[in-house]
Amino acid sequence: MRIKYTISIVFFVALVIIEKENNIISRVSDKLTLKQTPQTPLQPSGFSHILLKHNGSFTSHSKLDSAFTLMKRRLEDYSQHQEAVTGGRKHILLLATTRTGSSFVGEFFNQQGDNMFYLFEPLWHVEKMLTLETGGTNATAAVKAYRNVLQQLFLCDFSQLESFIDPLPVDHITAALFRRESSSSLCEESVCSPFIRGVFERYHCRTRRCGPLNLTMASESCLQKEHRAIKSVRVRQLENLRPLAEDPRLDVKFIQLVRDPRAVLASRMVAFAAKYKNWKQWAMDGEVPIDDDEVRKLKGNCDNIRMSAEIGLRQPPWLRRRYMLVRYEDIARFPMRKATEMYRFTGIPFTPQVKSWILKNTQASKETSGVYSTQKNSSEQVEKWRFTLPFKIAQVVQKVCGPTLKLFGYKFVSSEEMLTDKSISLIEDKVFNFL
pLDDT of residue 37: 35
Q: Is residue 45 part of a domain?
A: yes
Strand-pairing partners, residue 391, are none
Q: Let me know if 427 is exposed, middle or buried by CB neighbors in 10 A (0-12, 13-18, 19+).
A: middle
Q: Is residue 59 part of a domain?
A: yes
Total count of domains within the chain? 1
Q: Is residue 202 part of a domain?
A: no
Q: Is residue 402 part of a domain?
A: no
DSSP 43: P
Residue 133 identity (one-letter amino acid): E
pTM: 0.78
Q: Is the C-alpha dihedral spanning 384, 323, 90, 344 positive or negative?
A: positive
* 3-class state of residue 252 by DSSP: strand
pLDDT of residue 73: 57
Do residues 96 and 256 lie in contact, with contact meaning Cβ atoms separated by under 8 Å? yes
pLDDT of residue 24: 43
Please state, in angstroms and rounded to a whole number, the distance separating the CA atoms of residues 379 and 382: 6
Do residues 125 and 145 lie in contact, with contact meaning Cβ atoms separated by under 8 Å? no
Q: Is residue 195 part of a domain?
A: no
Q: Is residue 67 part of a domain?
A: yes
pLDDT of residue 165: 97
Residues 6+ apart with CB under 8 A from 227: 89, 90, 91, 92, 112, 115, 116, 117, 346, 348
Do residues 200 and 215 lie in contact, with contact meaning Cβ atoms separated by under 8 Å? no
Q: Is residue 198 part of a domain?
A: no
Q: Could you give the count of Cα atoms lying within 13 Å of 424 in the half-sphere of its Cβ?
A: 14
pLDDT in tens, the chain (435 residues): 544 444 444 444 444 444 444 444 444 444 433 333 333 333 333 433 333 344 444 445 565 556 555 654 554 554 444 454 567 999 999 999 999 999 999 999 999 989 999 999 999 999 999 988 766 667 889 999 999 999 999 999 999 999 999 999 999 999 999 999 999 999 999 999 876 655 555 556 777 888 999 999 999 999 999 999 999 999 999 999 999 999 999 999 999 999 999 999 999 999 999 999 999 999 998 889 999 999 999 999 999 999 999 999 999 999 999 999 999 999 999 999 999 999 999 999 999 999 999 999 987 544 444 544 455 556 677 899 999 999 999 999 999 999 999 999 999 999 999 999 999 999 999 999 754
Task: Supply the range of the domain harboring residue 55.
Answer: 2-86
pLDDT of residue 209: 84
Strand-pairing partners, residue 325, are 256
Strand ranges in 102-233 using DSSP code E only, listed in sequence order: 116-120, 173-174, 213-214, 227-232
pLDDT of residue 376: 52
pLDDT of residue 36: 36
Strand-pairing partners, residue 53, are 58
- Which run of H or of E encompasses 58? strand 57-58
pLDDT of residue 40: 34
Strand ranges in 154-275 using DSSP code E only, listed in sequence order: 173-174, 213-214, 227-232, 252-258
pLDDT of residue 205: 78
Q: Is residue 221 part of a domain?
A: no
Secondary structure of 168-183 in the HEC alphabet? Answer: CCECCEECCCCCHHHC
